[in-house]
Amino acid sequence: MLNRFPLWKNLMVIFVIAIGALYALPNLYGEDPSVQISGTRGQQASGETLTKVQSVLQSMNITPKAMSLENGSILVRLSKDEEQLPAKEKISEALGNNYSVALNLAPATPQWLTAIGGEPMKRGLDLRGGVRFLMEVDMKTALAKQQDQLQETLRTEFRKEKLQYKAVKKADNFVNEVEFADSDFADKAMRYIRRMHTNLEATRLSPTEVTISPSAQGLATARDTAIEQNLSILRKRVEELGVSEPTIQRQGADRIVVELPGVQDTARAKEILGATATLEFRLVNTTANPESAARGIIPADSEIKHTKDGAPTILFRKAVLGGEHIINANSGVDDKGLPQVSINLDSEGGELMATATKTAVGKPMATLYSEFKDSGRRDEKGKVILEKHEEVINIATINSRLGSQFQITGIDSPAEAQNLAVLLRSGALIAPIVIVEERTIGASLGADNVAQGMEAGLLGLALTILFCVVYYKVFGLFATGALLANLVLTIGLMSLIGATLTMPGIAGIVLAVGMSVDANVLIYERIKEEIRNGRSIQQAIHEGYNGAFTSIFDSNLTTVLTSLILYAVGTGPVKGFAVTLALGVMISMFTAITGTRMLVNWVYGGKRVKKLWI
């Protein structure tokens, strides 16, 4: 019989819409104003911290809606917005600098919905609030590091080519000066540099002295490489923070912009993003005289480094291995229950470690932790001066030849081990960076954007519904049902897959609603055309839906393909627009065709109908 769905198809449509409504439901519960407390630099909030926070709130006559301690972080849910800022300030004052206290909005989703995976949609920086960092790459340090690496490379290559030299020393402007045994060796070295290193320039300083410096092209390439590698590493670190739809992009010659929507712990974000931590594994010089070292007399191939307790340790200058060979790092505990970090090296790093430890069994090897920190001073151009801080975090005896997998211990806490693992896993920054601007977008501004976006969306929906009902009468009511179902299913699916909603995303939803009506317009106009051509009402309805399907599918397919291209090449908000538009258009294929067909079949299917209200 024409225009009748089997029972299973009716039940399928109802089931799909019901599931969509269930997962869209968490977005109606809103959020609680909250305060997030977490430790900085290896600290973890504990039961004692929780008790302190409770005491502070009691002294302010604030009764929290709920308090929880999970993974070393405390979340305090409050009942009123006006309690949030005073509570944050008092808690910060009571806990001191060892803890990060940040404003937050925590979803108020009921437990039964959370248990089945129901969560509200994530919102972008413009709707949720969050933090924006403007970072500056310290190119001087990057080029100085490259200068050191070039010195080692030159020494190795000159020895290999049997070019006798007396000294390799640093000069200004990242230049290396090499003094050779005679002028003949200097001539051969200059020819060798020009042949093998096209990005370097060799200039005669004297008959036996040659200056070797990066060319203009080499400097530009070094700067671009430092920026691009830092961008790549920052993206990995943001992934470790679990931030959805971040924006990480280059700005100008040496700056990077990072936008993190909905960040709950800005201190941890700054610590992870700005840290320049790396490890070096160096052998301890056991032959050096400690008493002489205390007076500053140490071998030329060694230097003094200190442990966290300030104890001096004499290490060989040449590192066995650098952090660039680390491909994975995971925090855990050793046999004694103490925190440790398990290291995995690449094949080259494994070979270097195996070669170095083969002849060093029974000797101590130190793990040297290095990072750059803000010195609080600025240079003549107003740029922040960074200082390098080094610390021996572990000295262990090599009991057997090591390979590409091993562990480091001597770490104070599980939180510090986790932080170190994150930094090593995502890679050390090629050049140190400093945060020159931090801009926080408040939740109140985000709420205003949400309200305005919702008003625009509801107004657009209301006008569309008015048009449908006035122009298509009863069939306009069917289209209205499909529009509402489209909206509910889009929100439910975005909540379920964890997609992020932005202001452009709201525009994408409104546009998808309009395109959903477009499908119904094509169907209804085809039905009216079939009736004018003399077909019966049941045949007209059947042909209207079947005949319009190809046109609807083609137009929607091109829109989805365009959305995929936008998602592939776009960033942040553009991706948000692409996601909502694509989901809305694909869902409209279901609601505008199958959904309205079910309603039409319920009202008109299998009946003698003399006139259609269309």
**Structure-model confidence comparison of residues 16 and 45, the more confident one:** 16
**Structure-model confidence comparison of residues 416 and 134, the more confident one:** 134
Least confident of 82-86, 244-248, 250-254: 244-248
Residue 40 has pLDDT above 60, yes or no: no
The model's pTM: 0.59
In terms of average pLDDT, the best of 50-54, 251-255, 417-421 is 50-54
**pLDDT class for 467, splitting at 50, 70, 90?**
confident
Q: Which residues of 178-210 are buried (b: 16+ CB within 10 A; e: fewer)?
A: bbbeeeebbeebbebbeeebeebbbeeeeebbb
- Residue 386: the pLDDT is 63
Q: What is the secondary structure of 410-473 as a DSSP string? A: --S-HHHHHHHHHHHHH---SS-EEEEEEEEE-HHHHHHHHHHHHHHHHHHHHHHHHHHHHHHH
- Residue 444: the pLDDT is 57
Contacts of 103 (CB under 8 A, 6+ apart): 33, 34, 35, 36, 84, 85, 88, 443
Residue 454 has pLDDT above 80, yes or no: no
Q: What is the residue whose two structure tokens read 């592939």?
A: 568
In whole angstroms, how far apart are CA 575 and each of 4, 133, 585, 586? 40, 20, 15, 16
**pLDDT class for 576, splitting at 50, 70, 90?**
confident
- Residue 242: the pLDDT is 55
- Residue 23: the pLDDT is 92
**pLDDT class for 239, splitting at 50, 70, 90?**
low
Residue 250 has pLDDT above 60, yes or no: yes
- Residue 271: the pLDDT is 65
Residue 265 has pLDDT above 60, yes or no: no
Residue 105 has pLDDT above 80, yes or no: no
Q: Are 246 and 238 in contact (CB under 8 A)?
A: yes
**pLDDT class for 372, splitting at 50, 70, 90?**
low
Q: What is the residue whose two structure tokens read 């490489």?
A: 225
Contacts of 437 (CB under 8 A, 6+ apart): 132, 133, 134
**pLDDT class for 268, splitting at 50, 70, 90?**
low
In whole angstroms, how far apart are CA 43 and each of 33, 265, 419, 499? 25, 14, 10, 32
Q: What is the residue whose two structure tokens read 């340790």?
A: 313
**pLDDT class for 25, splitting at 50, 70, 90?**
very high
- Residue 313: the pLDDT is 87
Residue 264 has pLDDT above 60, yes or no: no
Average pLDDT of span 578-607 = 87
- Residue 418: the pLDDT is 72
- How far apart CA 491 and CA 50 sit, in angstroms, is 36
Average pLDDT of span 594-601 = 89
Which domains, and CATH codes, for the chain?
A: 7-26+442-604 (1.20.1640.10), 30-108 (3.30.70.260), 140-218 (3.30.1360), 276-426 (3.30.1360.200)
- Residue 15: the pLDDT is 94
Phi and psi at residue 434, to the nearest 5°:
-130, 140
Quote the tokens at residue 248: 């990480």
**Structure-model confidence comparison of residues 116 and 106, the more confident one:** 116
User: Which tens digit of pLDDT belongs to each residue from 132-164?
Assistant: 888 888 787 778 877 877 887 888 888 888 888
CB atoms within 10 A of CB 149: 10
In whole angstroms, how far apart are CA 125 and each of 246, 266, 272, 436, 446? 9, 14, 19, 20, 8
**pLDDT class for 427, splitting at 50, 70, 90?**
low
Average pLDDT of span 158-187 = 85
**pLDDT class for 267, splitting at 50, 70, 90?**
low
- Residue 384: the pLDDT is 61
User: Which tens digit of pLDDT belongs to each residue from 270-325?
Assistant: 766 766 656 788 888 888 877 777 777 888 788 888 887 778 888 888 888 777 67
Average pLDDT of span 212-232 = 82
Least confident of 128-142, 163-177, 382-396, 589-603: 382-396
What does the mean pLDDT of the chain come to? 81
Residue 443 has pLDDT above 60, yes or no: no
User: Which tens digit of pLDDT belongs to each residue from 69-97?
Assistant: 887 778 888 888 788 878 888 888 888 76
